[in-house]
Structure 1
Amino acid sequence: MSLEEKWILSQHPCFNSAVERWFDRYPLAVAAGCNIRCHYCSRVYDCMNDNLPGRVSKTLSPREAFKKLHNAQRQSERIRVVCFNGPGEPLANKETLDTLERVHNHFPQLIKCVSTNGLLLEDYAEKLYAVGVRAVTVTVNAVDPALGRKIYGWVFYNNQPYQGISAAELLLNKQLAGIREARKRGILIKVNTVLIPGLNEEHLKQVAVVVKQAGAYTMKVIPFIPQAELAQLPATSGKMLHQVKRELSTIIRQTI
Structure 2
Amino acid sequence: MQEDKKMQHFAHVTQAHPCFNEKIHDKVGRIHIPIAPKCNIQCGFCTRKITDKENRPGVASCIMSVDEAIEHIRKTTSQMPISVVGVAGPGDALDNPETLVLFKKVREEFPDLILCMSTNGLLAADYAQQIADVGVKTVTITINAVDPTIGAEIYDDIEYDGKVYHGIEGAKLLLDHQLKAVEKLSDLGVVVKVNSVVIPGVNDEHIVEIAKTVKAKGASIMNVLPLIPLNKFKDVKKPGCGELSTIRKQVEEYLPVFRACSQCRADAFGIPGVKDQDFSLEMVPNSHY
Query: Fold conserved (TM > 0.5)?
Result: yes
The count of corresponding residues between Structure 1 and Structure 2 is 253
Structure 1 contact 56–87 (Cα < 8 Å) conserved = yes
How large is the Cα RMSD of the aligned pairs? 2.0
Which of 3, 17, 25 lines up with 1:20 in the alignment?
25
Which of 176, 180, 188 lines up with 2:179 in the alignment?
176
Aligned to 2:195: 192
Structure 2 regions of 5+ residues with no counterpart?
A: 260-289
Q: For 1:98-150, what per-residue CA distance to the aligned partner results, in whole angstroms no more than 9, with x for missing partners?
A: 11111111111110000000000001111111111010000000000001000
- 1:229 partner letter: K
Aligned to 2:77: 73
The whole-number CA distance in structure 2 between the counterparts of 1:212 and 1:13 is 22
Aligned to 1:63: 67
Structure 2 contact 143–178 (Cα < 8 Å) conserved = yes
Aligned to 2:39: 34
Structural mapping, 1:120-159, within 5 Å: 120-159=123-162
Which of 218, 222, 226 lines up with 1:215 in the alignment?
218
2:115 is the alignment partner of 1:89: no
Which of 108, 115, 118 lines up with 2:118 in the alignment?
115
Q: For 1:17-51, what per-residue CA distance to the aligned partner results, in whole angstroms no more than 9, with x for missing partners?
A: 112233211111100000001011122587xxxx4
Instruction: Give SS of 1:222's match.
Output: strand
Shift of 1:55: 5.1
The whole-number CA distance in structure 1 between the counterparts of 2:162 and 2:61 is 25
TM norm structure 1: 0.94
Structure 1 contact 135–188 (Cα < 8 Å) conserved = yes
Aligned to 2:166: 163
2:15 is the alignment partner of 1:10: yes
The whole-number CA distance in structure 2 between the counterparts of 1:253 and 1:226 is 26
Could you list the runs of 4 or more consecutive aligned residues of structure 1 that deviate by over 4 angstroms after TM superposition? none
The whole-number CA distance in structure 2 between the counterparts of 1:206 and 1:212 is 10
Instruction: Give SS of 1:31's match.
Output: coil
Instruction: Give SS of 1:220's match.
Output: strand
Aligned to 1:255: 258
The whole-number CA distance in structure 1 between the counterparts of 2:121 and 2:104 is 20
Shift of 1:91: 0.1
* Stretch moving more, 227-236 or 216-225: 227-236
* Stretch moving more, 153-162 or 4-13: 4-13
Structure 1 regions of 5+ residues with no counterpart?
A: none
Cα distance change, pair 234–159 in 1 and its aligned pair in 2 (3 A): same
Tell which has more relative contact order, 1 or 2 (C-alpha 8 A, sep 6+). Answer: 2
Aligned to 1:246: 249
The whole-number CA distance in structure 2 between the counterparts of 1:200 and 1:4 is 32
Aligned to 2:204: 201
Structure 2 contact 48–59 (Cα < 8 Å) conserved = no
Aligned to 1:99: 102
Percent identity, aligned pairs only, is 36
- 1:115 partner letter: S
TM norm structure 2: 0.83
